[in-house]
């Protein structure tokens, strides 16, 4: 579906943006791929790796609506990945996080409707479910904006959906590169915030495939949640350095012991499919009606039991050997 299409990726110089770009170039023949980000050095470095004729690099900030309107001219599909993502940084710089994650989302929506974009997929996080930190709260607000944007679009063709996923193995925000750096520097122990801590675990490849598939599935208004395993952080540390001791340092500002992707309060709006869940809109979308138990590619699901919750602490866990495989896979 991406052949001869114009694809816009905000925050496109990050780990996910690069993998999206690589995947799109390998599998499809897009008319253009527009990388929109505010870091000129990262754009320069990415241009050295991805210099196909269809590639375009636009400097800009999602806080700047006029620039977004200009950059989205002629765009068919938008992947919105730009965000402030570091939990402690958001706690200490709350207004900056709000400007990027909430105002930036509003601007993406306005620019997409203005340019009659076909589909917009916003990337979210498990921290948006029952948030206890500012980052999660801003992403929950962002999710709500993108769902409601289907009403804001009115009779315009633009449709908006959200993908919510967990920790991405080996991404810049992951603990894995941090642990590896400590190991390379000769650390005698690895810092563990809490012995019971768990996280949802997904590879870049799986994350990208899930997002791209959801462009085909989406009707508008869905929050897509993949069925993925969990990792115990102590097991992760053992998989990387089995002989190193663990130093318990306490949880960071705004951190949870376990993450949630489908809260129990949303169970009345949650549909289970073979390999994912869909959280349906809690509001009426006035321009059209859709049976969310059937997606656009023939998938059929059913509503979960009332009170159902999808938590990283009550999930299938990766073994230490499997975590090693995930780490090797992330480096390919």
For position 285, what pLDDT does the model report? Answer: 83
71 membership: H or E segment, kind and range = helix 65-71
Residue 185: closest CA among 195, 193, 177, 194: 177
The arithmetic mean of pLDDT across residues 147-172, rounded, is: 90
- Contact indicator for 164, 125 with CB cutoff of 8 Å: yes
Looking at residue 154, its pLDDT comes to 85
CATH number at residue 285: 3.40.50.720
Question: How confident is the prediction for the chain on average, in pLDDT?
Answer: 94
Say if 280 falls within a structural domain: yes
Range of the domain at 302: 6-166+203-226+263-308
pLDDT band for position 325 (50/70/90)? confident
* Separation between Cα atoms, residue 269 and residue 254, nearest integer Å: 27
Q: What number is the average pLDDT over the span 216-241?
A: 96
Instruction: In whole angstroms, give the CA distance from residue 323 to residue 165.
Output: 18
Average pLDDT over residues 265-274: 97
Establish if 108 belongs to a structural domain.
Answer: yes
What is the Cα–Cα distance from 276 to 258, expressed in whole angstroms? 19
Q: Pick the catalytic residue: 119, 127, 144, 213?
A: 127
CA 91 and chain centroid, separation: 20
Structure tokens at 58: 């636009």
Q: Note the pLDDT tens digit of each residue in 8-19.
A: 999 999 888 999
Task: Say whether 127 is catalytic.
Answer: yes
Strand, coil or helix: 298: coil
Whether 252 is in a domain gets the answer: no
Residue 44, domain member (yes or no): yes
Give pLDDT, residue 32.
98
- Radius of gyration from C-alpha coordinates of the chain: 20
Q: Count CB atoms within 10 A of the CB of residue 303.
A: 16
Of 98, 141, 150, 88, which Cα lies nearest the Cα of 283? Answer: 150
Integer Cα distance of 260 and 238 in angstroms: 24
> In the chain, how many domains are there?
1
At 212, list the tokens. Answer: 């791209």
Q: Is residue 304 part of a domain?
A: yes
SS3 content of the chain, % helix, strand, coil (to 5): 40, 20, 40
Helices (H), 218-332: 233-240, 320-330
**298/9 Cα distance (integer angstroms):** 27
**pLDDT tens by residue, 50-92:** 999 999 999 999 999 999 999 999 999 999 999 999 898 999 9
**Any domain includes 246:** no
118 C-beta neighbours (distance < 10 Å), count: 16
Let me know if residue 233 belongs to a domain.
Answer: no
3-state secondary structure of 224: strand
Burial of 307 (0-12, 13-18, 19+ CB in 10 A): exposed
Asked whether residue 314 is assigned to any structural domain, the reply reads: no
pLDDT higher than threshold 70 for residue 204: yes
| pLDDT in the model for residue 289 | 77
């Amino acid at each position: 579906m991406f052949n001869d299409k114009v694809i816009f990726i905000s925050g496109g110089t990050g780990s996910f943006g690069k993998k999206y770009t690589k995947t799109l170039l390998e599998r499809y023949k897009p008319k253009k791929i527009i990388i929109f980000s505010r870091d000129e050095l990262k754009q320069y470095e990415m241009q050295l790796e991805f210099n196909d004729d269809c590639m375009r690099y636009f400097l800009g900030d999602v806080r700047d609506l006029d620039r977004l309107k200009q950059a989205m001219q002629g765009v068919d599909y938008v992947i919105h990945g730009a965000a402030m993502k570091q939990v402690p940084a958001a706690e200490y710089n709350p207004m900056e996080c709000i400007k990027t994650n909430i105002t930036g989302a509003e601007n993406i929506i306005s620019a997409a409707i203005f340019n009659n974009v076909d589909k917009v997929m916003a990337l979210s996080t498990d921290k948006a479910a029952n948030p206890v930190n500012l980052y999660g709260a801003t992403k929950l607000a962002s999710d709500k904006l993108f769902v409601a944007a289907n009403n804001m679009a009115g009779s315009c063709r633009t449709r908006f959906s959200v993908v919510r996923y967990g920790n991405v193995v080996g991404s810049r925000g992951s603990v894995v590169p941090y642990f590896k750096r400590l190991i390379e520097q000769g650390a005698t122990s690895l810092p563990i915030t809490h012995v019971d801590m768990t996280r949802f675990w997904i590879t870049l490849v799986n994350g990208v495939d899930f997002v791209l598939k959801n462009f085909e599935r989406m009707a508008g208004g869905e929050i897509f949640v993949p069925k993925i395993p969990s990792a115990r952080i102590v097991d992760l540390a053992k998989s990387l350095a089995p002989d190193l001791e663990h130093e318990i340092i306490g949880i960071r500002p705004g951190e949870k012991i376990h993450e949630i992707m489908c809260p129990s309060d949303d169970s009345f709006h949650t549909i289970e499919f073979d390999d994912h869940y869909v959280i349906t809109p809690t509001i009426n979308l006035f321009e059209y009606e859709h049976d969310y138990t059937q997606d656009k590619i023939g998938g059929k699901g059913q509503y979960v039991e009332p009170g159902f919750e999808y938590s990283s602490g009550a999930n299938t866990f990766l073994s230490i050997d499997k975590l090693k495989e995930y780490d090797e896979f992330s480096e390919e």
